[in-house]
Chain A
Amino acid sequence: MRDPYEVLGVSKNASDEEVKNAYRALARKYHPDNYADNPLSDLAGEKMQEINRAYDEIVNMRKGGSSASGSSGSGATKPEYAHIRTLISNNMLDEAQRKLDEFPTNSRDAEWYFLSGSVLYKRGWYSNAYSSFATAVNMDPNNAEYKQALNNMQRHQNGAYSGPYRTGSNMGGSCNSCDFCSSLICADCCCECMGGDLISCC
């Protein structure tokens, strides 16, 4: 097994607080909700387990405390959909699509749209997947599972993935009054070096 500190990306001397923060950040990143319906959800699950194990190990090593974990489940409401859900979670998309196509148009309910949205999403057909999820939510606005799926896509649509890298003001190119003043003072210094002056008072 990998070194638990390496898994969490912290040094061995990190404080308990730092370890906890690193653990929380990773757990948020690989949380099952983020990968709901994603064809890679099993890999994300493994990663999550690895992170949980590493955190538990560090905590136990340090004092032998509590453990943390997170999971969410989803259940089929109608028996005829149970099989299709299994197909989808096993990534057998063609088969699932065929089964879904067998439903006559007038019997297609919210769950049907949700499931076909899941198939499309896994295929990478995000545009149609989005409309299917939206239809499902429209037909059954109280279902948390459908809402979650739609929310996930909406969050991305608004560009909410630029995670850890971007520094400072978020879209770049912006300039606040502080930057402006310090730039002016800088320019003034440069001018003075060359014998001129930009701001006469300083």
Chain B
Amino acid sequence: MFGYIRAAKPEMRIKEFELYKAVYCSLCKEMGKTYGIFSRFTLSYDFTFYALLNMALKPDVCDITRKCCTCNPIKKCQYLTDMSDMKMPAAASMILCYFKLMDNISDEKGLKKVKYLLAKPFIASAYKKAKKLYPSLDAVAKSYIESQNEIEKNNCTSIDMAAEPTAKCLAEMFKMLTDNEAQKRCLDRIGYSIGRYIYILDAAVDLEEDIKLNRYNPLKEMYKAGEYSKEFIAGQLNICVGEAAKAYELLDIKKFKNILDNLIYLGLQDTFIKELKI
């Protein structure tokens, strides 16, 4: 979606990094296979996290094979032998990408709009396919977009309210990863907190541009009143990550624990420090 859920690579062991990359490449491959070459360009780290979490909750071991990379035929990449766990993350990625594209088309003007319009037929056909495979994901995304539009129309100035649609959307998507009720509640909390983190970080990153172009941003009011500061945003984001971490600790992780620890305890914080240039 935004690519704000990234691992802190310098703190990773090589074997963890290779596994992380294997999941990323497998997701890319799955998208290319099911949704066509163009869908590959829409892949983000956020859905790699989603795919990792999906697999981490299942007890079976995962095998890795080396095959040629489809994007670069000279390069050999590692892929998961069993690709079935990639199907749902790939669909989620396509569905959210489609809605983001539609949003961009209605927001942008000029050349950028042309660019998005050109991408539309490819993304739209992929979206149709994903929607057919996972109607529940589509329903979640639709209600997210509707409430997000509502928020923007009413020019909402509360961060809590403005972040809710994104947070709820991720919470619902994360909940789909398990059937266990207790685990569902943990995933709900993780999804909510991470969704909130993504939304607030994105709003802070876009703030100056949004003011210039007179677009909606929940932080605008605060900025005009002189109450905005990067430290305030950092504090808010830290609370989100801390809450996600607490819920994460109650999750029954079967594999990839080191990679997920890295993402939750370090990656999220490092990412926002980099993005906000603190």
Which residues of chain A have a CB within 8 Å of any CB of chain B? 29-30, 34-35, 38-40, 43-44, 47, 120, 124-128, 130, 153, 155-167, 172
**CB nearest to B167 among chain A residues:** A124
CB distance from B242 to the nearest CB of A (A): 3
24 example contacts (A-B, Cβ-Cβ < 8 A) are as follows: A29-B249, A35-B246, A38-B246, A40-B189, A40-B246, A44-B246, A47-B250, A124-B160, A124-B167, A124-B192, A126-B240, A126-B243, A127-B159, A153-B239, A157-B235, A159-B234, A160-B242, A161-B245, A162-B266, A165-B261, A165-B262, A165-B265, A172-B8, A172-B11
If over half of B's interface residues share one DSSP class (helix, strand or loop), that class is named, otherwise mixed; here it is helix
CA distance A176 to B147 in the complex (A): 50
Partner of A162, one of B186, B258, B269: B269
CA distance A128 to B240 in the complex (A): 13
- The yes or no answer to B54 lying at the interface (CB within 8 A) is no
Contacts of A161 in B (CB 8 A): 238, 241-242, 245-246, 265
CB distance from B108 to the nearest CB of A (A): 29
Q: Sorted from nearest, which 8 A-B pairs have the closest CB atoms?
A: A156-B242, A125-B160, A157-B235, A161-B242, A124-B192, A126-B239, A159-B238, A156-B239
- The yes or no answer to B48 lying at the interface (CB within 8 A) is no
By the criterion CB–CB under 8 Å, are B249 and A39 in contact? no
By the criterion CB–CB under 8 Å, are A156 and B185 in contact? no
Contacts of B160 in A (CB 8 A): 120, 124-128
By the criterion CB–CB under 8 Å, are B243 and A156 in contact? yes
Contacts of A160 in B (CB 8 A): 242
**CB nearest to A46 among chain B residues:** B182
- The yes or no answer to B155 lying at the interface (CB within 8 A) is no
* Residue of B11, B235, B247 most packed against chain A (CB within 10 A): B235
Contacts A34-B246, A40-B189, A159-B269 hold; do A130 and B261 have CB atoms under 8 A apart? no
Contacts A39-B185, A120-B160, A166-B11 hold; do A126 and B236 have CB atoms under 8 A apart? yes
By the criterion CB–CB under 8 Å, are B11 and A167 in contact? yes
CB distance from A100 to the nearest CB of B (A): 16
CB distance from A20 to the nearest CB of B (A): 20
Which residues of chain B have a CB within 8 Å of any CB of chain A? 8, 10-11, 158-161, 164, 167, 182, 185-186, 189, 192-193, 196, 234-236, 238-243, 245-247, 249-250, 258, 261-262, 265-266, 269-270
CA distance A177 to B38 in the complex (A): 49
Contacts of B246 in A (CB 8 A): 34-35, 38, 40, 44, 161
Contacts of A153 in B (CB 8 A): 239
CA distance A22 to B262 in the complex (A): 20
- Further 13 A-B residue pairs, CB within 8 A, beyond A124-B164, A165-B261: A39-B189, A40-B186, A124-B192, A125-B160, A127-B159, A128-B158, A130-B239, A156-B242, A156-B243, A157-B236, A161-B241, A165-B11, A172-B10
By the criterion CB–CB under 8 Å, are B186 and A164 in contact? no
Partner of B245, one of A126, A158, A163: A163
Contacts A124-B243, A172-B270 hold; do A157 and B238 have CB atoms under 8 A apart? yes
Contacts A38-B246, A126-B243, A172-B11 hold; do A163 and B189 have CB atoms under 8 A apart? no
Contacts of A130 in B (CB 8 A): 239
**CB nearest to A35 among chain B residues:** B246
CA distance A124 to B174 in the complex (A): 15
By the criterion CB–CB under 8 Å, are A164 and B265 in contact? yes
